[in-house]
């Protein structure tokens, strides 16, 4: 499965690990994962360390998430400096670079 979802026992932390291509094909899984998270203070960790391609639609999904819950409640984990730079241009500043 391209998206692996883990939710903390209290429902306040959701980790979505995305592998392969982050594109329109993930929209149903991404939307379903978000719809299942109803806690009002949910924080999201989007782990894209195993993502080898981010399409504009993948970026659009992240922007939609940010609009919906607020930028301060999203952390993005990546290993690629070019991805970090691209996302920073769109206002994603809560990013962690991991080896």
pLDDT > 90 in the chain, percent: 26
DSSP 42-76: -EEEEEEEEEEEE-HHHHHHHHHHHHHH-GGGEEE
Distance, CA of 36 to CA of 45 (rounded, Å)? 15
Q: How many domains does the chain have?
A: 1
42: Cα within 13 Å, side-chain hemisphere? 23
The enclosing domain of 21 has a CATH number of: 3.30.750.24
pLDDT by residue (tens digit) across 52-89?
A: 888 889 999 998 888 888 767 888 898 888 888 888 88
CB 42 within 8 A of CB 11: yes
pTM for this model (two decimals): 0.85
Which domain, by its residues, includes 86? 3-97
Distance in angstroms (rounded) separating the CA atoms of residues 90 and 84: 10
């Amino acid at each position: 499965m391209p998206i692996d979802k883990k939710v903390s026992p209290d429902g306040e932390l959701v980790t979505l690990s995305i592998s392969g291509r982050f594109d329109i094909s993930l929209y149903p899984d991404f939307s379903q994962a978000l719809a299942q998270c109803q806690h009002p203070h949910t924080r999201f960790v989007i782990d894209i360390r195993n993502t080898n391609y981010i399409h504009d639609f993948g970026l659009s999904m992240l922007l939609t998430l940010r609009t919906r819950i607020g930028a301060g409640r999203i952390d993005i984990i990546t290993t690629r400096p070019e991805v970090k730079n691209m996302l920073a241009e769109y206002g994603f500043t809560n990013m962690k670079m991991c080896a």
